[in-house]
């Protein structure tokens, strides 16, 4: 289609546009169109109303997503191990014993130079290490709760027992973040995990009830461990804010 | 926006029985400072202390009067800081854009549109916008260095600390790095660590880190002038014990540094000559005694 050339007296004028502003606007449009989309997990959480300041630090790095995947895989394995239709008490013990270890492993994969290659660059940002540690620990705990909780309700575990692993999970996670202020995340998780295995096995052998380690008194103990763990983590938070173990 | 005022006094860092930094003093505001030193001289340790990620054993570090040893002031320092560690190191499976966007969140840019715009600007400035969707692991070493630079300059910091940013860059990329750093001269105090004297030639100041201290802080011209009258050429190979350093030139003559013999052909010194004389082990021994 051919248009006639514009006549000089059409009344059209070259609009006065600030090139810098035009450039900035074009860039903003281009960024919105061309920026890669976040992962499906992050998009889902954003739709639920969580801000990027929570979802990005919690999920953006592959090491964190790996922590999620490991947690989910372990949950499935635990479900298979725990399901013993002939012995409901044995199933319950296996579930309650193994479930608190899941978030612990997730925490080990979620913070520190071993888990995150950009750890040193993160430390130099205004977001404090303690905030990242607690945010990621909470994320791993939350996903573990949803998946293991669902699993426990589906198996032949009685309803009150189905929740009996939650306080141990919170207690162990808080204990590991507290120990993390003194040593590397992986070593901290190793120490706390070992302590848990010993305590749970002693608890199982000590009384007539193999689930004694998850009774009301023990649950109160895990609340105390969680509170003390969070307090120690907060008081010693500066240790999570600097490089440790460097010698150059 | 004003370039950060940096004040370092009697800074000491000890790792067990090793003392890589012993009495560092430095005062700077604005401009580009090249931190020059041999491999293992302590450049990374010094930059880590200034970047607030390593706590010095003793001494004073202040950024705009703020003390990084105090929590609230450390956070405020970090708001003004852009830091490129020597081994930046985003996860290999992260996408370029996401790796930077994540750091932008940690740098307290909560607004999605503004943050994405900052990320895009930084990627564009270092020439990586076209690789925004690639995995970090698929980038070349030079591109990863540029990604490290992009995260450091994002958000226009007033204190910019770059640890060996030129390593692995080809000549064109090094030129881009120089342009980026020079463009921030008036708005940021920039410290660039390097072991290459060529990189230091464009700086406003050169600080030579040697023997655990800053043994020289001055202009590149002044560093070269340290070798005034002590650089010469001669035809015959010099006696090694009489020179600090010597090397064979393409024309078959020997370029020598040290105390010239009588009748030697004195030539104009370069930055490297001044640096080599300053870091002369014999001079260090004299200094120790």
Residue pair A201/A212 in contact (Cβ under 8 Å)? The answer is: no
- Residue A206 CA: distances (Å) to CA of A201, A203, A210, B22, B47: 8, 5, 8, 57, 55
What interface predicted TM-score (ipTM) does this complex get?
Answer: 0.87
pLDDT at B104: 92
Q: Nearest 5°: CA angle at B106, between B100 and B109? A: 85
- pLDDT tens digits for range B123-174: 999 999 889 889 888 998 888 999 999 999 998 899 999 999 988 888 888 8
- Mean pLDDT value across chain B: 90
Task: Indicate the SS3 state at residue B127.
Answer: coil
Tell me if chain A has a CB within 8 Å of the CB of B206: no
Residue in chain A lying closest to B77 (CA): A126
Distance CA A189, CA A172 (A): 9
Tokens representing B81? 């800081």
pLDDT at A128: 87
Contact residues, chain A, for B20 at CB < 8 Å? 248
Contact residues, chain A, for B103 at CB < 8 Å? 118, 121-122, 125
Contact residues, chain B, for A126 at CB < 8 Å? 75-76, 78-79, 106-108
pLDDT at A66: 67
Distance CA A218, CA A214 (A): 6
Q: Nearest 5°: CA angle at B274, between B268 and B280? A: 135
Distance CA A220, CA A199 (A): 15
pTM for this entry: 0.85
Contact residues, chain A, for B122 at CB < 8 Å? none
Interface test with A, best of B14, B20, B53, B109 (most A CBs within 10 A): B53
pLDDT at B149: 94
pLDDT at A76: 66
Which percentage of chain B shows pLDDT scores above 90?
58
Task: Indicate the SS3 state at residue B15.
Answer: strand
Interface test with B, best of A34, A47, A124 (most B CBs within 10 A): A124
Ranges under pLDDT 50 in chain A:
none
Tell me if chain B has a CB within 8 Å of the CB of A121: yes
- Mean pLDDT value across chain A: 77
Smallest Cα distance from A42 to chain B, Å: 12
What are the 10-residue block averages of pLDDT along chain B, 289 residues in total? 93 93 95 92 95 95 96 96 85 85 89 88 91 90 91 94 90 89 93 88 93 94 92 87 86 90 88 89 54
Distance CA A144, CA A63 (A): 17
Helix axes A88-98, A185-206, angle to 10 degrees: 150
pLDDT at B167: 84
pLDDT at A4: 60
CB-CB under 8 Å, A126 with B106: yes
Distance CA B230, CA B216 (A): 18
Distance CA B52, CA A242 (A): 7
């Amino acid at each position: 289609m051919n248009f006639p050339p514009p006549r000089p007296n059409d009344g059209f004028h070259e609009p006065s546009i600030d090139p810098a502003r035009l450039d900035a606007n074009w860039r903003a449009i281009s960024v919105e169109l061309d920026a890669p989309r976040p992962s499906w997990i992050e998009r889902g959480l954003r739709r639920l109303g969580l801000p990027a300041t929570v979802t990005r630090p919690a999920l953006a790095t592959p090491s964190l997503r790996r922590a999620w995947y490991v947690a989910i895989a372990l949950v499935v394995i635990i479900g298979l191990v725990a399901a013993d239709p002939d012995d409901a008490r044995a199933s319950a013990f296996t579930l309650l014993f193994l479930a608190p270890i899941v978030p612990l492993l997730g925490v080990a994969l979620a913070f520190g130079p071993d888990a995150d290659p950009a750890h040193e660059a993160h430390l130099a940002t205004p977001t404090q290490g303690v905030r990242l540690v607690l945010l990621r620990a909470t994320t791993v705990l939350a996903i573990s709760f949803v998946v293991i909780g669902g699993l426990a309700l589906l198996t032949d575990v009685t309803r009150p027992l189905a929740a009996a692993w939650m306080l141990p999970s919170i207690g162990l996670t808080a204990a590991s973040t507290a120990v993390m202020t003194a040593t590397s995340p992986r070593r901290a998780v190793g120490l706390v995990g070992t302590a848990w295995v010993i305590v749970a096995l002693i608890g199982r052998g000590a009384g007539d009830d193999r689930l004694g380690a998850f009774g009301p008194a023990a649950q109160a103990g895990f609340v105390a461990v969680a509170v003390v763990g969070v307090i120690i983590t907060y008081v010693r938070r500066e240790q999570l804010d600097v490089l440790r173990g460097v010698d150059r | 926006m004003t370039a950060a005022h940096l004040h370092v006094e009697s800074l000491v860092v000890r790792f067990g029985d090793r003392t890589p930094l012993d009495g560092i003093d430095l005062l700077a505001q604005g401009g580009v400072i090249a931190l020059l030193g041999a491999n293992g001289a302590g450049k990374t340790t010094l930059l880590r202390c200034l970047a607030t990620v390593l706590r010095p054993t003793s001494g004073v570090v202040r950024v705009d009067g703020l003390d990084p040893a105090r929590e609230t002031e450390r956070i405020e320092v970090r708001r003004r800081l852009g830091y490129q560690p020597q081994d930046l190191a985003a996860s290999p499976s992260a996408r370029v854009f996401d790796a930077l966007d994540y750091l932008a969140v940690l740098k307290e840019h909560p607004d999605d549109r503004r943050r994405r715009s900052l990320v895009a600007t930084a990627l564009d400035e270092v020439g990586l916008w076209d690789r925004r969707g690639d995995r970090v692991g698929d980038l070349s070493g030079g591109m990863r260095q540029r990604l490290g630079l992009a995260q450091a300059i994002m958000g226009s910091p007033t204190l910019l600390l770059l640890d060996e940013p030129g390593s692995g860059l080809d000549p064109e990329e090094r030129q881009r790095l120089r342009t980026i750093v020079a463009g921030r001269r008036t708005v940021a105090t920039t410290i660039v660590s390097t072991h290459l004297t060529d990189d230091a030639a464009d700086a406003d100041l050169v600080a030579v880190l040697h023997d655990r201290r800053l043994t020289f802080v001055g202009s590149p011209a002044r560093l070269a002038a340290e070798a005034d009258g002590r650089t010469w050429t001669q035809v015959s190979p010099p006696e090694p014990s009489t020179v600090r350093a010597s090397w064979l030139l393409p024309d078959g003559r020997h370029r020598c540094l040290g105390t010239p013999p009588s009748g030697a052909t004195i030539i104009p010194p370069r930055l490297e000559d001044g640096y080599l004389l300053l870091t002369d082990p014999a001079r260090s021994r004299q200094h120790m005694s």
